[in-house]
Amino acid sequence: MPDTFDTPHPGPRKRFTLEDVIQEAFALGLDQFSISGVARNLGVRAPSIYRVVESHEHLAYLCVERAVASMPLPDAALPWSAQLSQFAEHFWTMCDRHSGLAQALITVPTTHLAVRHYFEQLLTQLAAVADDVPLPRFQFAVDLISKITVMGSVVTEGLKKSGESETPGGTRIDDSYLLKLFPHLSPANGYALVKEEVEFVISGLADTVFPRHLSEQGLANSQAITAAQSSQGSSGS
């Protein structure tokens, strides 16, 4: 049974749990919530929230940890390239499901630690299907693919909110600069473009990791073509 906490308000005491606090942070957006905002939505005073979390950063970490716990690993039976592609899709879906999560991964220092265990499991899976691939290559690929996915999610979410935001003074923010920076990106095709970049990374990794295999295959193909041409020449003479 989760711990519950009473508020210091006079009159009937309101009770809340850590789960309530996490859900309110998710509802407000992981790039938007504040301790006071969470407290206000729960009908309590801000100091009460510090009974269950240490700080804003701690609450952001717990939220990211919760989101990552629901993200499935790729199918372990797939080849390493397909696993990396599936990982990018799962990571994108997680960021898309939780408003502000991608931004929190960039701006809140400790949130990347909430993803560490997932990455360790993913790397173990990749190594199991390609034990001849140096682990640092996979570490590089996972790191780069996650960064591509997070940045794509941040930009796409910014485009979704385009024209909706206002400064504290009430001036509407013009987010059209995002379209100038990323002219081919839109909320509708955000993942399609991220996937294209991810596949480019995977293709480059394949060319780097397996140059010997590719060279041998190319030599075999060349020899087969030469043999076929020789055979045709002999037949024609």
Range 209-230 average pLDDT = 49
Is 84 among the domain residues? yes
Decide if pLDDT at 16 tops 90. yes
Mark whether 156 and 90 lie in a shared domain: yes
- pLDDT value of position 155: 81
Claim to verify: residue 9 and residue 105 sit in the same structural domain: no
- pLDDT confidence tier of residue 219, bands split at 50, 70 and 90: very low
Nearest to 32 by CA among 94, 96, 101: 101
pLDDT computed for residue 81 by the predictor: 93
User: What is the per-residue pLDDT for 6?
Assistant: 45
Residues 204 and 89 in one domain: yes
Number of folded domains that form the chain: 2
The CATH number assigned to the domain holding 27 equals: 1.10.10
pLDDT for the residue 235 = 53
Provide the phi-psi class of 163: left if phi over 0, else alpha when psi is between -120 and 50, else beta.
Answer: left
Domain carrying residue 103:
73-217
Q: What is the mean pLDDT of the chain?
A: 80
CATH number for 200: 1.10.357
Is residue 64, in this structure, part of any structural domain at all?
no
Counting runs of H as helices and runs of E as strands, what totals does the chain give?
11, 2
Q: pLDDT class for 234, splitting at 50, 70, 90?
A: low
Do 20 and 78 lie in one domain? The reply is no
Does 19 share its domain with 128? no
What's the pLDDT at 205?
85
Q: Could you give the 3-state DSSP secondary structure of residue 163? A: coil
- Asked whether the predicted pLDDT for residue 132 surpasses 60, the reply is yes
